[in-house]
Structures are given as structure tokens and as C-alpha cells.
């Protein structure tokens, strides 16, 4: 362990208040990836597994004994092309890790995952994903995910999904003909696979009870062209029965789920928890799995969607519900955890965002995370028996001596009078300043939202003297159906209008200098930044877009494979609206200079989108610069790339606005 703190000392922990050290490189410090990418605790609570970044885009898995604190590297990845996504204990001495890479298969790039197991001393690294033989009729990019950590035995075996791909029968008597998603019990040491659930064509997911029993299954519905319709059928099992019974259907259209969406099984109550709509908002419900089908509302809010089930431990025990209004909130159903949350809030007043990351098998030792808007956060180990916290590691050690900017929840009026939630971040020490250079920073998605927490991008800009506003434009999630409208694509006029109104509000309040107002965005936020030039070319004086969508009609065409017309139309709408909403089709309207960044392996937004925008802007005689990063996907998850990108953004904004 890196540092041990008692309850009394914890109250003294707070964000830095001093000036940055001499020679401080803001782009490098804020662009660095988190110093801790994940923490897991062994079932007996005696060991920790800590995933940390290495230089650039790599990572290393470290194992430490809780009572000793010495850490040993046991698995590493360069991140080129494969990276370690997450690691978890399968037993007291055996770990599993999810690996991810982007590989070229049949002249196309695909995201490919696999799961490996490794001993806590770094030995016996083995691939748990089922092997495919050379004469399959296709390929499985999903190497299987773990749905139950106990495997029903607690001996290091796990329940894993297994994608079955049929094989050609030509010239062989042993070809595999089964197809679909099934479940295997996998011994993480011997690699013996025992089939628990046979493959079901178009099965998409399974839920276990955390004790080795599969209780819920999801199957996608197809149309006559074998395209997904967006409707998923859920089935369940009673206790001590193998028969599947209907649980209900959920329609996933237009970024919204309609119907009861199962999330977690409680074997003691014999219910499944899930999300469903109640009076235009999402609430947490439970449905009995005893055959009665009894459905009860567990928790909801009159003003905000519930978006998470809070779970704890290896069995994923449901202990609460979570939602985000101005700040992330949790309602604990478990009395002991409710009392613990109150105590932790008093002990860590400077870092009120506290969550349970992992727990030992008996839940007596908890891995916690605590952070805030002005504190990137720290991981702690809490021992219930001694009521003692030990700090595992800070998330952003390079920012330990840097004063960070407060993130203030606000509301501003849109042009039609709608009250739009937002977060305002002002440079440290300039909270009352007027006429600042300012940035509107819309979030990605579009079916997403910003939250009150440390965020490296607005913090970097605030450190460099910019005021930053992050509008929760209409089309954002969490605020109910009426605020969501038809989504940020079909209802782009309202969404972009709200984004632009955020900039106008900054000017009207005197916060922003109208001649030094810029817009920066990533993904859908990058699209919003570009489309703002089409709607009001004179508002922003500089535009920065990272991995942006630039042509919705091209995006729509790229997403047709395997999806029904109903799904596509619900998400995108008609050609006339998409043409008007595509900035690449209106490059002639641009007045401000544009800077774009994109990874060439982006699986979310094809790099061709920014290439097209650059070509159209150059063809129209506009000012544009595009930087393309090789071997990186949508997140550009590389510390050196982030640092270079931030430095270039800063220089571009200052030059464009005469600063």
C-alpha cells in the first residue's frame, strides 16, 4: 500500500491550493492518462490487483499483498495493437483480464476481444476464450465475457459466454454446426470448457444469479432479411428449473429502451431488477421470477432518470440505485452501506463522489473511489472490522500540486425559453472575472450527458485561462422523454440551438469576450462544433472537433449492415433533415478556422468523416487543419497523443482569437 490514513486524517485531504511547480507542462499533465485504470481485490481480501498505464498507450497489471504493500508486475501490454481493458480475481491466486485490439479481418477493421488468465505471480498466462478452427464459416470478434465470477464452485472457475460459429462440413465428419451465444463453465487453470448453456441463435446476453446459475437470457428479433429489428425478447427460469419462460420484450430504438430491461438477479428475493419507464422517466423496478410475474417499482425520481443499479461483491449483490442531477447521487437499500456512506461523506468532505469499486467475498473489505470536481480522486481500501482506510493510489499524481477549477452547475435559457442545465468552469482565481476567452464544450453521444466530476479537458482549458461551459442540450439523457425529444440527430436543430445559446449566454452575462469565443467538441460534440458554423457562422471565432461526424447521410449508409430499416430510420430520420444537419454539405457557410483530430482506427466514427470535412472546407477555400493519428481508435487513448493534441488546441485557439 502506498499510504495509510486513519479516519481523523482523512478529513484533512483536499485539493491543492498552491501555484503549479516551476516548469509545469499543462498539456502533458492534463493529457496524461489516469494513473490508476482499475483496482480489484481478491476474494479473501488479502491481495489487490492494480492496472496502471505505462508510457504512451501501454498498461501493466500489478499485484500487491495488502499487509505488505510491495507490488509486482504480472502482465503488461504495449497498447499497440492490444490493450488490457480490465482485470478481476477469479480466485485468491488467479486473475482474468479482458484484452482488446482492432484487427483487420477480410479487408475491414474490427474490434476484437479475448479473455486471458494469469497467476498472481505472473506465471501460467493462458487464453480463456474458446479457440476457433480454421474452417469456420465466419469469425467471432467477441472472445467471451464473464457473467459469473464464482462459476458455481468458487474454485477459480467462471461462467463465460462463448460465441459458436458453424464450420464447413465439406470433407469432415467432425464439423461444428451449432451457432449462437452460449455459456461455458471454464476452469481458469486447466482451460477445460464445460457447456452450461447451449448456443442459441441471436442470443445477445445472459444474467446469472452470482452463484453459478443462469436465470435470464436475451434474444434479438430479426426481420425476414435477417436484420435486427431493435426488439429483444427476454426469458427467465424459475429456481431449480431448466425451462425458459417469457419475461417480456424491450424495444431499443432511437437510443431509448421501451419496456422492462433486466439488469441483475437477486437469488434471495428471487427477483430480477431492471429499468423501465414511469410517467416519462426511467425508474428501477423488480420482477418476481417465481412465475407470478409480479412487478414492483423500487425507486424513482420525479425530476431525473434512474440510470444505474448499484451492485457490490463477487455475486453482484444489488444494494442501491443511482442517478445524476447536478451531481451523481446514490440511494442505498442496504442499511449498513447507507450508514457507511454517511460516515465516509463526513470523513471525506472534499471528495463527496464516493463509490464502491470492488469487495472481498465476505464484503468485509471494500475498494472505494473518492473524488470531486477539483480532485481527480483516489482509490482506498476500507476494512469494516477496523473502520480503517488505506489509500491505494491517487488517480492523477501529476496534478497533486495544481489548483483545479470548480465546476458549477447552472441553468441558462434557450431561445425558446427552455431552461438548459449546464456546468460552468472558470479559471482558478478568476471566478469573478469578466470578458474572458471562453469555450463551449458540448458532450458526445448524443444520447449521453456530462456529470459533475474531474474532467481533464475543461480543466486543461480553465488552467490555460479559458471559461468553459458544458451545456446539457436537448437530446441529452437523464432528463426524461420530453427533454430528449427525438434525439440529437433527428432533433439537431434544438440540440445545436441549445449549444449556440450557451455561447450567447456567456457573452450576455459578460463572462466571455465575444471576440474570443470558441467551440470544442469530441464525437457528437465535434459534430455540434462544426454544425454551429452552419447555423450561425459568426458566433464562434474558432472550431476544434475531435473524431467528429460530418455527414449523417454517409453515417447512416455505413450503419445499415445487419440493422433493419425501422432501426435506422428511428435513429437518423429522413434525407432532407440529414442533409441540412450535415456540416460537410455546407462548408461554404464556415467563417471560423477549423482544427480536427481523428484516429485512423476509429470504430465509432469512421476517419473518412473528418477526411471528407477537410476536403470540403479546402474546396470552399476555408481555413482548416486536420491531424490524423495512426493506430488509435475513438478515444485516442495515448498520453503522448493527448498532450500533443492539447498543446496544439491551445496554440490554435490563441492564434485564431488573437490572444
Q: What does 391-411 look like in DSSP terms, one character per residue?
A: EEEES-GGGTTSPPPPEEEEE
pLDDT confidence bin for 6, thresholds 50/70/90? very low
pTM of the model: 0.93
- pLDDT band at residue 133 under the 50/70/90 scheme: very low
Q: Is 80 exceeded by the pLDDT of residue 560?
A: no
- Helix (H) or strand (E) segment spanning residue 228: strand 228-236
pLDDT in tens, 586-631: 999 999 999 999 999 999 999 999 999 999 999 999 999 999 999 9
The CA-CA-CA angle for residues 431, 436, 439, to 5°, reads: 100
Helices 639-656 and 456-463, axial angle in degrees (round to 10): 40
pLDDT tens-digit readout, 64-122? 999 887 889 999 999 999 999 999 999 999 999 999 998 877 677 878 899 999 999 99
Percent of the residues in the chain that have a pLDDT greater than 70, as a whole number: 92
Q: Residue 19 — very low, low, confident or very high, per pLDDT cuts 50/70/90?
A: low
pLDDT of residue 67: 86
Q: DSSP for 452-498?
A: SS--HHHHHHHHTT-EEEEE--BTBSSS-HHHHTT-TTTTHHHHHHH
> pLDDT tens digits, residue range 242-266?
999 999 999 998 888 999 999 999 9
Residue 132 pLDDT: 54
Between 87 and 171, the more confident residue is 87
CA–CA gap between residue 118 and residue 408 (Å, rounded): 44
Place 144 in a pLDDT band, splitting at 50, 70 and 90: confident
Rounded mean pLDDT, 282-301 = 97
| Percent of the chain clearing pLDDT 90 (strictly above) | 81
Determine the pLDDT at residue 4.
Answer: 36
CB burial of residue 242 (10 Å; 0-12, 13-18, 19+):
exposed
Give the pLDDT confidence of 529-538 residue by residue, as tens digits: 999 999 999 9
Average model confidence (pLDDT) for the chain? 91
Rounded to a whole number, what is the largest CA-CA distance in the chain?
79
* Segment among 13-17, 337-341, 493-497, 652-656 with least mean pLDDT: 13-17
Query: How high is the pLDDT of residue 8?
Result: 31
- Total residues found in the chain within this entry: 659
Rounded distance between C-alpha atoms, residue 394 and residue 36, angstroms: 7
Amino acid at each position: 500500500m502506498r499510504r495509510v490514513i486513519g479516519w481523523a486524517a482523512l478529513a484533512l485531504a483536499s485539493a491543492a491550493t498552491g501555484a503549479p511547480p516551476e516548469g509545469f507542462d499543462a498539456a502533458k499533465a492534463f493529457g496524461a492518462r489516469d494513473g490508476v485504470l482499475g483496482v480489484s481485490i481478491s476474494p479473501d481480501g488479502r491481495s489487490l490487483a492494480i492496472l496502471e498505464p505505462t508510457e504512451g498507450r501501454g498498461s501493466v497489471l500489478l499485484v500487491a499483498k495488502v499487509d505488505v504493500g510491495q507490488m509486482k508486475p504480472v502482465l503488461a501490454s504495449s497498447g499497440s495493437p492490444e490493450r488490457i481493458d480490465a482485470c478481476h480475481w477469479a480466485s485468491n491466486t488467479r486473475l482474468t483480464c479482458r484484452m482488446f485490439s482492432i484487427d483487420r479481418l477480410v479487408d475491414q477493421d474490427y474490434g476484437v476481444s479475448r479473455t486471458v488468465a494469469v497467476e498472481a505471480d505472473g506465471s501460467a498466462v493462458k487464453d480463456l476464450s474458446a479457440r476457433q478452427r480454421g474452417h469456420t464459416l465466419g469469425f467471432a470478434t467477441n472472445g467471451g465475457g464473464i457473467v459469473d465470477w464464482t462459476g458455481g464452485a468458487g474454485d477459480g472457475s467462471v461462467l463465460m459466454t462463448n460465441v459458436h460459429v458453424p464450420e464447413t462440413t465439406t470433407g469432415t465428419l467432425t464439423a461444428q454446426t451449432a451457432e449462437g451465444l452460449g455459456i461455458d463453465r471454464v476452469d481458469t487453470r486447466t482451460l477445460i470448457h464445460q457447456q452450461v448453456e447451449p448456443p442459441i441463435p441471436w442470443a445477445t446476453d445472459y444474467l446469472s444469479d452470482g452463484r453459478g446459475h443462469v436465470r435470464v437470457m436475451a434474444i434479438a428479433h430479426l426481420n425476414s432479411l435477417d436484420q435486427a429489428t431493435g426488439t429483444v425478447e427476454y426469458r427467465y427460469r424459475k429456481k431449480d428449473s431448466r425451462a425458459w419462460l417469457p419475461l417480456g420484450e424491450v424495444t431499443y430504438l432511437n437510443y431509448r429502451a421501451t419496456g422492462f430491461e433486466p439488469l441483475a438477479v437477486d437469488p434471495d428475493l428471487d427477483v430480477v431488477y431492471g429499468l423501465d419507464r414511469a410517467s416519462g422517466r426511467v425508474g428501477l423496478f423488480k420482477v418476481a421470477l417465481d412465475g407470478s410475474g409480479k412487478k414492483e417499482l423500487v425507486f424513482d425520481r420525479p425530476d431525473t432518470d434512474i440510470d444505474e443499479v448499484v451492485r457490490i461483491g463477487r455475486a453482484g449483490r444489488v444494494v442501491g440505485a443511482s442517478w445524476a442531477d447536478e451531481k451523481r447521487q446514490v440511494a442505498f437499500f442496504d442499511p449498513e452501506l447507507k450508514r457507511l456512506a454517511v460516515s465516509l461523506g463526513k470523513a471525506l468532505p472534499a471528495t463527496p463522489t464516493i463509490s464502491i469499486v470492488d469487495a472481498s467475498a465476505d464484503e468485509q473489505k471494500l475498494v472505494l473511489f473518492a473524488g470531486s470536481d477539483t480532485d481527480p480522486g483516489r482509490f482506498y481500501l476500507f476494512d469494516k472490522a477496523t473502520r480503517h482506510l488505506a489509500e491505494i493510489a491517487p488517480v492523477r499524481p501529476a496534478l497533486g500540486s495544481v489548483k483545479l477549477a470548480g465546476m458549477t452547475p447552472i441553468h441558462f435559457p434557450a431561445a425558446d425559453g427552455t431552461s438548459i442545465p449546464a456546468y460552468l468552469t472558470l479559471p482558478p482565481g478568476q471566478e469573478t472575472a469578466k470578458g474572458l476567452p471562453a469555450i463551449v464544450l458540448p458532450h458526445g453521444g448524443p444520447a449521453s450527458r456530462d456529470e459533475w466530476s474531474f474532467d481533464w479537458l475543461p480543466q486543461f482549458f480553465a488552467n490555460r485561462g479559458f471559461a468553459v461551459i458544458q451545456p446539457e442540450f436537448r437530446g441529452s439523457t437523464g432528463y426524461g422523454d420530453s427533454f430528449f425529444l427525438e434525439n440529437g440527430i433527428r432533433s439537431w436543430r434544438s440540440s445545436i440551438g441549445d449549444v449556440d445559446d450557451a455561447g450567447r449566454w456567456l457573452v450576455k452575462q459578460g463572462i466571455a469576450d465575444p471576440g474570443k469565443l470558441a467551440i470544442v467538441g469530441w464525437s457528437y460534440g465535434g459534430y455540434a462544433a462544426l454544425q454551429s458554423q452552419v447555423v450561425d457562422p459568426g458566433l464562434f471565432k474558432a472550431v476544434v472537433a475531435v473524431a467528429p461526424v460530418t455527414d449523417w447521410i454517409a453515417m447512416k449508409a455505413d450503419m445499415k449492415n445487419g440493422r433493419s430499416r425501422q432501426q435506422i430510420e428511428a435513429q437518423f430520420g429522413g434525407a432532407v433533415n440529414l442533409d441540412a444537419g450535415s456540416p460537410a454539405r455546407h462548408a461554404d457557410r464556415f467563417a471560423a478556422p477549423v482544427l480536427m483530430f481523428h484516429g485512423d482506427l476509429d470504430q465509432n466514427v469512421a476517419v473518412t468523416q473528418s477526411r471528407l470535412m477537410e476536403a470540403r472546407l479546402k474546396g470552399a477555400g476555408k481555413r482548416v487543419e486536420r491531424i490524423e493519428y495512426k493506430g488509435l481508435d475513438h478515444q485516442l487513448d495515448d498520453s503522448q497523443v493527448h498532450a500533443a493534441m492539447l498543446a496544439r488546441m491551445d496554440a490554435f485557439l490563441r492564434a485564431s482569437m488573437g490572444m
